[in-house]
Amino acid sequence: MPPTPELAETPPDAPGLAPPPLPRPARAAGERPPLGLWSLSLVLAALFAVPFGYLVVRSAGLGGDLWETLTSERTLAPLVRSLTLATAVTVTAAAIGTATAWIAVRTDVPLRAVWRVLLPLPLVIPSFVGAAALLAAFAPGGLVAELVEPLGVDQLPRVDGFAGAFVVLSLLTYPYVFLPVAARLAQLPPSLEESARLLGSRPVAVFRTVVLPQCQGAIWAGGLLVFLYTLSDFGAVQLMRYDAITRRIYSARLADRATSLTLGLVLALLALVVVVAERAVGRRRLVSEAAGGRRALRVALGRWKAPATAVVSLVVGLALLVPVAVLAYWAQRGLRLGGNAAGPLAGDPGRLGELAFNTASVSVATAVVAIAVVLPLAFLTVRYRTVVGAATNAVVVAGFALPGLVIALALVVLALQVPSGLGLYQSFPLLVFAYVTHFGAQGMRAAQVAVGGVPRRLDDAARTLGASRLRRLRTVDLPLMLPGLLAGAGIVLLSTMKELPATLLLAPLGFQTLATRVWGATEDGFLADASLAALTLVVLSGVLTWLLVIRRAEATT
């Protein structure tokens, strides 16, 4: 959501999509790649292009109905609602992420090392888990009702709709801005601010005229990721009953397939536009960055120390501690009441092991397949400067830009049209294929850096000694690339664990993961069951996020 310094700035649910700078130069432009590598890369790129290509073909097949569908109220209304939500969440998350990053990195706020660890941790909470926690908190008999009952409050406000989706997504997406802004602030040389202060500028003016412009690229890059995430979110808007475009796609997938496919194409095109914008901003940011010199300047807050501490405490409390507390409250309540009253999972907690095993097995399988698939593409893009290499990289990146719901929808419709004897629909291979198509770009970035880190002289020496290409790969390249490949596989694994819409549409019958159990239990009103599964998912995601993202981000800052 996936690690090298470039990857560490970007959370695994939505990594930056600009190709990473490669640690060593590619081979000369005139050198041709082996025919086998060239052919295999074309085949793999074609597979990554299947969902988007199918959407285009099917939408074009609508003929005159396509324009009517695009301009109809059932298309424009949910699109406007999605854009409104995405804009509001992006502005809010950018403000929260920038403010908390500055407090945690550039000030003498108490416990600043603790805040730098806790502030990115909402990454471990998927949007549908956050939405389930908010609904559970305000449900009858929930934690909020229990707290306000002594005050004589017997009716709680509604938390669904736009307001609920906005609160959940804003609190869970601000780390997309926090991480790159914190990294940028840690790199800023103190001489910039010291010079401004010597010229008589007040602290607020220094922040506005010096610090903020230097962080503008990081803020925009993180904000664009937030916008993309919110635009493609399905879990939070569905649970909150906010009629966004993803919810309309899901509801129309069976009864009105033409509308569903057209809406999917619109969402895919919007996502690709955001990706192009993110890459453009990323290039401008690299040009504007100044090299860090001495240790980053630390601003003395003085009388503002208490308010700053209150701000970061409130953000961490609302985004992390409160959701976990609500889930823990309902989980212990369900375990106390038992299965008849709270749900089947509360009556038999041992089933959590089965759900965790299913989640882990499909995630590990996806991670292994993803790295195996993108490794040839990484070789082509890093070691040879070819048009084919650039095109395959763009196709893989575009696969990540497509929302998981859109990929799943395209594959569902496609699978239903092939002969039933092939057994593609609701099969494990099709589910893994959807995951790999969606998250392959995360593994691609790590694989590119891993391939680029192998010294060319070692490969040349092995060739001189008569080692075949396959033997060089097995004895020289793979051992040196293994740490980077494992890091990329870990990020793909983490993202797969939290994926919801593709699992809902493509999972084999009877195959449940922690994510689908949270979803189903919340929809059925079994909040204790949902909380048990959600807590398990949060713990697993938290461990992986700490190991693969936050710890490495701390190392770079």
**pLDDT value for 212:** 72
Cα–chain center distance at 118: 18
User: What's the 3-state SS for 372-423?
Assistant: HHHHHHHHHHHHCCCHHHHHHHHHHHHHHHCCHHHHHHHHHHHHHHCCHHHC
pLDDT of residue 412: 87
Q: What is the C-alpha to C-alpha distance for residues 526 and 528, in angstroms, rounded to an integer?
A: 6
Q: Count of CB atoms within 10 A of residue 287's CB? A: 7
pLDDT of 543 reads 77
Residue 510, Cβ neighbours under 10 Å: how many? 7
**Sign (positive or negative) of CA dihedral 509, 511, 515, 520:** positive
374: CATH: 1.10.3720.10
Q: What is the DSSP string of 268-287?
A: HHHHHHHHHHHHHHHHHHHH
> Which positions ≥6 away from 532 have C-beta within 8 Å?
331, 334, 335, 345, 346, 349, 352
218: β partners: none
Which pTM was predicted?
Answer: 0.78
239: domain range?
Answer: 5-556
Burial class of residue 557 (count of CB atoms within 10 Å of its CB; 0-12, 13-18, 19+): middle
Comparing CA positions, the residue from 400, 18, 437 lying closest to residue 229 is 400
Tokens of 170: 């804003």
Looking at the chain, the number of H-run helices and the number of E-run strands are 31, 0
Using CB atoms within 10 Å of the CB of residue 347, give its burial: 0 to 12 exposed, 13 to 18 middle, 19+ buried. middle
**Residue 425 pLDDT:** 81
**Which tokens sit at 519?**
């979803």
Degrees, nearest 5: CA angle 464-469-470: 135
For the chain, how many structural domains are there in total? 1
pLDDT given for residue 173 in this prediction? 92
**Other CB atoms within 10 Å distance of the CB of residue 140:** 8
> Among residues 20, 46, 58, 24, which one has the least CA distance to residue 457?
24
Positive or negative, the CA dihedral 525, 529, 535, 537 is negative
- pLDDT given at position 312: 92
Backbone φ and ψ of 38, nearest 5°: -60, -45
Q: Give, for all 557 residues of the chain, the pLDDT tens digit.
A: 333 333 333 333 444 444 444 444 445 444 677 788 888 888 988 899 888 888 888 777 766 666 777 777 777 888 899 999 999 999 999 999 999 998 888 888 888 888 888 898 888 888 988 998 888 888 877 777 777 777 766 777 788 889 999 999 999 999 988 988 888 777 776 666 666 566 665 666 666 666 777 777 778 878 887 888 898 888 899 999 999 988 888 887 767 777 787 888 888 888 777 767 666 655 555 444 444 445 556 777 778 888 889 999 999 999 989 888 888 888 887 777 665 555 666 666 678 888 888 998 999 899 999 999 988 888 888 888 778 878 888 888 778 778 888 888 888 888 888 776 567 888 899 999 999 999 888 888 778 878 877 777 776 676 676 666 677 776 777 777 787 788 788 888 888 988 888 898 898 888 989 999 888 888 877 888 888 888 888 888 777 766 665 555 555 44
CA 29, chain centre distance (Å): 34
* pLDDT, position 139: 80
Q: Which residues pair with 107 in a beta bridge?
A: 299
Q: Distance between CA atoms of 372 and 481, rounded to whole angstroms?
A: 13
**Ramachandran sector of residue 302 (left: φ over 0; alpha: ψ -120 to 50; beta: rest):** left
Query: Rounded CA gap, 77 and 452, in Å?
Result: 47
